[in-house]
Structure 1
Amino acid sequence: MIHLAATPKQMSFDFERLPTGAIVLSTDDINQAVAFSSQIPHKSRQWQIYLTTLAVLGFEHWLEARDYFIPIHRENYSIFQPAIANLLSSVCHLQIGQFKLCLIAIGSLADAEVSLPRAVVDLPEFAANFYVLIEVLEEQEYVIIRPFLSYQQLREKLTKANLVPESDWTYQIPLTWFEHDPDRLLLYLRCLEPDAIPLPAIKPQERIQTLSTMQDELANLLPQLQTSQQEIWQVLNWEQGVAILTNPDLLNWVDNAQRNIPVAEEQHQNSNYHLSDLIQLVTKPAVNVGRWLWDELDELAQQLSWRLLPQMMPAMRLRSPIEEFEIIASQLQQQGIEIPSSARGAYQDLLLAGIQLRLYAVTWNLLSKPDPNSWTLLLILGSPFSEDLPQTLKLRVSDKTGILVQQEANPEQGVSYLFTRVVGSWDDKFLVSVSLMDGVELTLPPFESNLGQNV
């Protein structure tokens, strides 16, 4: 930056010298950092995310200036995922060439220690080959690439020092542990083989099993995070926190809950219902209705006593419950709901608080507009004796985004069944719950259609 001062007799030039290695930030960099930080519901975290974003952008400029041919894969950066950025102060999931990096933004090197989130050290989902410190001087609008540390070095030093994490899920790492020549990092990125710094393996099935064992306690504790004033480590212990941090769907629930704080009791209750449904969606095995289109029941459907209906033929007259479904299908057609001949369905008899119910599920693929390459699930809940439904009977359908449908029987209308239809893509699952009153509820395993694309 140049300041000019002119006098009648002479003109002098005063230069503000940048430190060696300084990477100047542009106005666009500043604007991006402001935009990303404003997405974070925690006001106390917004400043850290602002600095962290500047660190990432500055690091990219540094790398591009020194080796333009090292590919930078930006799509998985945690700062682009607000649900993660809201909980982790460091930037993880940086894919630079064949290596994963974690960037830690610091104000200066005056402190003897640097704070590192426990998640980026102890969890394989967030671990990195290299951890890099970035000094951010936001007022001067530049950053400096500082010391770095490999994953292997970090683990060895943690073990040797017997360093334990803080109560806020961070490690206080001595600066003396870091290698102070950033040019060596560039050399490693260029020449080192990725298997020279192996990372721990991610084991999704173990994560699901762990989540299953604590689903009740999480359903009770997570609603406390429906305020941006509560930090996750203040509500959960580390084991519970791991279950959340390693599950993207639950991370998104926490993020959405803190952005959309319920203002009414009904909203609060629906949010809690969806949380319970979501935990079951991500932990329970699903009935694959895509197999129905091949006249097959998967093993889970057989265990649950689902029974296939024959191919949909409007003119057929068969015995109950097929005849019953035929009558219902005719009534739905009068309401504008067409069931194509390619559809296949099944039914299951349910017993809820001594009351017998029957649930029909029908599926078919959508190969035309407005939902090409999707599948649909039609659900019909009624009584096998063609009786009016109990007054308090409710049908609820959820997916990972929230509660999609919540219907209640209306005795004044004399309705003998409830029905709803949902549409999803191939990776969507739907959870169906039937309830009579508070505390009396039956939740079925999720429905999916992962063979639909082959039909």
Structure 2
Amino acid sequence: MSFEFERLPTEAISLDAEEMHQAIEFSRPIPDDGRQWQTYLNALALFVLKKWLQERDDNLIVNWADCTITKPALANIIPNIANLQVGNFKLCLITIGNSWDEQIPLSRIVVDIPEFVPHFYVFIEVLESQELGIVRGFISYPQLRENLENFQTILPQPDWNYEIPLTWFDNDQNRLLLYLLALQPDAINLPAIPNNRQQTLAAQESELATLLWQLQTPETELWQILNWQQGSAVLTSVELMDLIYKLQTGGVNQENPETPLIPASLRDLIKLITQPAINVGRWLWDELDEIGESLAWTLLPRFAPLREMRSPAEELDAIALQLKAQGLEIPLVARSGYQNFLLAGIPLRLYAIAWNSSTVHEPNLWSLLLILGATSPNTLPENFKFRVSDKTGILLEQSVNPQQRNSYLYTCLVGNWDEKFIVTASLGDDIEVTLPPFAFDITR
């Protein structure tokens, strides 16, 4: 199939000053100059497509609210615009400046990761200096996949790009318009999104902190640090993408600037993201979830003003009385559970008490009281530390008071229903145990 482009066809779309300014604003949050320029061109291509469609049919609405260019963490990594919605179709824009060859790069991310795969890839040339753009051609996902299977010499490059021949694109733009207007989206089969994303991330959790810590400099690309298996797992986690963006924009700092060690806040955040959480909301229904059961958590009886209890419920009752004397009262609606675990051979017990703390003025809040102590002997070792983190970083880190030799450490947390907390017990800098995160979902 011959594929020839005129340099300036009559269908070239003009860009106005406001659109040029908006494109600059889209690109401003990107920390690397090269990726910032590509984001700028991508934004101009978005406006070109929008105008091109408006000139041909007002019924085709471009919805870019959820596309990757509106999310700096994704635009910082993905060189194309993915998840762009036009009517009921997903589009991916491939943007090239005014210099291109017989092949154009297309990110493997938008081809091989189902979350970013579109119905159609649309190739747009942007002549930024002339404030013009041209819709050059398109190809459907099934056709692209078939071509890649038939031309097995076209393989992903080390930089996670395919070099796609221009001849693969259909340069009859009216045919794209016809498909968007008349075709049903389910006529184009898209790959299913795997349901084991969490397990895949959890399997790689131990090495992710070391790898992602190497992405601190804005110039560093994901493909330079991660292999494709690792990269595809990271790219499907919005929280990890946000973390990478924070790393490259200086949003994650070392606790001690004089040491190159990976900060505890980063290690905690990766565990918080990758590990499945214990749903303490289920405790309100007298139920343990699968994670709680697998970790041998034990639910305790409901709190009551008077009742006879046996240890460890008796121990928790005594602690609750001490906390009440300090001004922290546990509501009767709270549910509690505990887990025993070992840290360097030292037997420890973590109590978790959860309740719905929503009010009329502050809905969707939950509270979590964490109490960590030693089961035998009944005091914690001198170098013992208790750390709690959420996705923003370390919330608190408590140490044992050498003079008092605490029998337990505790903290009470309040979060929105979509927030999670993670607990770490440690001895010194090298020995620690991090328990699975705690989450709160009262739906059954």
Judge same fold: TM > 0.5, yes or no.
yes
The one-letter amino acid of 1:114's match is I
Q: In the alignment, what sits opposite 1:367?
A: 358
Shift of 1:306: 2.2
Q: In the alignment, what sits opposite 1:5?
A: none
Query: Residue 244 and residue 418 in structure 1: after superposition, are their counterparts in 2 closer, same or farther (change >3 A)?
Result: same
Where do 5+ consecutive residues of structure 1 fail to align? 1-17
* Alignment RMSD: 2.3
Q: Does 1:260 align with 2:266?
A: no
Q: Does 1:390 align with 2:385?
A: no
Alignment of 1:55-70 (within 5 A): 55-70=45-60
The one-letter amino acid of 1:85's match is A
CA distance in 1, matches of 2:329, 2:228: 50
1:261-315 CA-partner distances (Å, limit 9, x unpaired): 6565536779643443344334433322112112233343234332222222345
Q: In the alignment, what sits opposite 1:112?
A: 102
On the 8 A contact 1:219/1:272 being kept in 2, the answer is no
CA distance in 2, matches of 1:444, 1:390: 19
On the 8 A contact 1:383/1:389 being kept in 2, the answer is yes
Q: Does 1:130 align with 2:123?
A: no
Report the number of matched residues.
435
Shift of 1:403: 2.8
On the 8 A contact 1:399/1:428 being kept in 2, the answer is yes
1:230-262 CA-partner distances (Å, limit 9, x unpaired): 111111111211111122221111111111265
Q: Does 1:313 align with 2:304?
A: yes
Secondary structure, aligned partner of 1:234: helix
Q: TM-score w.r.t. structure 1 length? A: 0.89
Most deviating of 269-278 and 224-233:
269-278
Q: In the alignment, what sits opposite 2:180?
A: 189
Q: TM-score w.r.t. structure 2 length? A: 0.91
CA distance in 2, matches of 1:164, 1:73: 32
Most deviating of 59-68 and 272-281:
272-281
Most deviating of 23-32 and 250-259:
23-32
CA distance in 1, matches of 2:141, 2:14: 29
Shift of 1:72: 2.6
- Equivalent of 2:329 in 338, 344, 367: 338
Q: In the alignment, what sits opposite 1:435?
A: 426
On the 8 A contact 1:430/1:448 being kept in 2, the answer is yes
1:213-235 CA-partner distances (Å, limit 9, x unpaired): 33223222111001112111111
For the pair shown, the structure with the greater C-alpha radius of gyration is 1
- Equivalent of 1:168 in 159, 180, 186: 159
Query: Residue 23 and residue 224 in structure 1: after superposition, are their counterparts in 2 closer, same or farther (change >3 A)?
Result: same
- Equivalent of 2:203 in 196, 207, 213: 213
CA distance in 2, matches of 1:215, 1:321: 33
The one-letter amino acid of 1:149's match is I
Q: In the alignment, what sits opposite 1:355?
A: 346
Alignment of 1:136-285 (within 5 A): 136-162=126-152, 163-205=154-196, 207-260=197-250, 264=254, 266=256, 272-285=263-276
CA distance in 1, matches of 2:66, 2:74: 11
Secondary structure, aligned partner of 2:336: strand
CA distance in 2, matches of 1:28, 1:328: 63
Where do 5+ consecutive residues of structure 2 fail to align? 1-7
Q: In the alignment, what sits opposite 1:10?
A: none
Query: Residue 188 and residue 303 in structure 1: after superposition, are their counterparts in 2 closer, same or farther (change >3 A)?
Result: closer
Most deviating of 289-298 and 306-315:
306-315
CA distance in 2, matches of 1:294, 1:398: 26
Q: Does 1:286 align with 2:277?
A: yes
On the 8 A contact 2:382/2:405 being kept in 1, the answer is no
